[in-house]
Chains A and B, each alone.
Chain A
Amino acid sequence: MSVVVADSLEQALDALAAAPHATVLAGGTDVMVELNLGHRRTDAVVAVARVPELCSWTYDARRATVRLGAAVRYAEIHADPLAAWLPALAQAGRTVGSPQIRAAATVGGNLATSSPAGDGITVLAALDATVHLVSSAGRRDVPVGQFTVGPKRNVLAPGELIEAITVPVARGWQGFSKVGVRNAMVIATANACLAVDEPAGSVALALGSVGPVILRCPEAEAIAAAQCDVAARRASPATVAAFAEAAMAAARPIDDHRSTAAYRRHAVRVMAGRLLRRAMPHE
């Protein structure tokens, strides 16, 4: 087995070019579990956790975006200053695993695993984040909504790496919610992220763990855009109810050992309604 511990992006990309099917290892909180359980076999590993370019982030005040290196840890994301710019991602980050897991787990890894229950991805989807991919052949950008294509499947090509994710800084209230059977350290039964774009007068809603990929809710979003007074943070009870119903209708959950489809739909309705009420506290 070959293991390359890359010290630079160039070195990582060279290693991936030489072994395009190598397992990319960052925080290892998904990969090592799979390897230890024998669910994944690998003969080549490219470790990227020490690549400086991947571990840094940039705040662009003019564009009002944060560019997160793929190997930025959740422990860093759920603390200031990132938490102040990306509050929903910080909230989602706080729900990922235990403190030990969050100290190792990376946002890029969360995305690369492409689990339908990936907590960070729900937020990135609500915020229309852009995923920057890189390989020795060049770079390309993919909207996060097009990155995952199914449960644990995504558009990463052999030899390709997630370099960074660009996320717009909050332009209004945003929040994340996650239902699980335990009060911490639990895989989502269902999760949701709502983000208000005040300048645009719009509301985005994304749902996790209720479909093969993270889902957006265009009908609910249309109801909110049409019926909420975003500037005054006002929504009628009827609007909240209609928004919640539309969110539930967008969910495509299944029964599994963690919960039932019926409960997941119900949870989506409750979470969506409560999130909108938090965003629009005035009736």
Chain B
Amino acid sequence: MIPSWPTSAGALACSVIGAAHRRQGKPCQDTCLGQELRSPRGEPVALLLVADGHGGQRYWLSEVGSRLACEQAAAAVAAALAEHELNQQERWRQLLASELPETIQARWLAAIERDWRRRTDAANQPFSPLTYGSTLGLVLLSPCWWGYTGLGDWDLVRLEGASGAELVSEEADQEGGGEATASLCLSKAGRRWSERSQLVSLAPAAPPFTLLLSTDGVRKSCATDVDFLSLCGHLRALKDPAELEEGLAQITAAGSGDDVSVAMAHWTPDGPPAPPARSQHPRQRSTAKLLVLAGVGMGLALGVAASVARFRSQLAPSQQPAPAHHNQPGPTQPSVHGPTGGIAPARSADGRSGTRPPRGPDREQLPASSRPIAAER
């Protein structure tokens, strides 16, 4: 049953290559996604994803690993959404704690192995998931509940009112110390997912709030957690994806130097989500009750066309999305690269794309009911 009370949820996501990675000529190993999905009953669900490739020498394809993690997670969520009604909260709690993680991990492992077999630079080397190691944080925001799952050193903050900010989920110290984190490439990762899973019911009269999911580069750029929570408050106020991109570039340059990603969704009880205004410039879509759902770096139409053409030219034929879908996202036909959303390409501090060209998922992996309405520059 569709809730009798209306809701709106919005999402914005952006990844920016770390200042240190840029200086060292390394690719951005972060990927993020902000996407609005629809249940079969038409209920809006915001999906937020961030993934952070490990980056060390032994994880030399982790930027691919993080991209595939977001793609496979989006596909797994869309499939679950098609199968399970949103009002089955206990069922979704189970899904977030165990079934979705198992599905995502299995899909990710299959996807990275496919990628490995296509590589000419992998000839005669044994396949190892370690090569693609990545974290993954996943948040779902529905009309009647919100929840999260994932593994690794991502952070989730809930912001409410003018100054309320709460660190909802963080990774506990990992064995191994230093920058050690849980990873999709760990063979026995099941327990780690469940440690980071939660589902929270929402009352119809719940006050508006924002969920902000970030990779560790953001928090590490702040002197203290108090500063981090304050920063989240400032990021929440950014309605323009270009501003978010500029802000993230500023954060990595003044802070950790690490890649930085943020995906956030706003929940308000006072109006149904507006349909995506695909023909409208993203900067013009910032009215208070408007659902803003954006992938990375929304931007200029000309830039979009050029970047899409460039990205497509870099794809292997099997990786290219169907032409019919490309740049034509609709309510039920997502586009990964299109001007209105999808997996976010990394941006350098000066707005250039990172060295990793974003690539789309295989067609069969595309969420059937997603409605991305973000744009990329």
Answer yes or no: do A and B interact: no
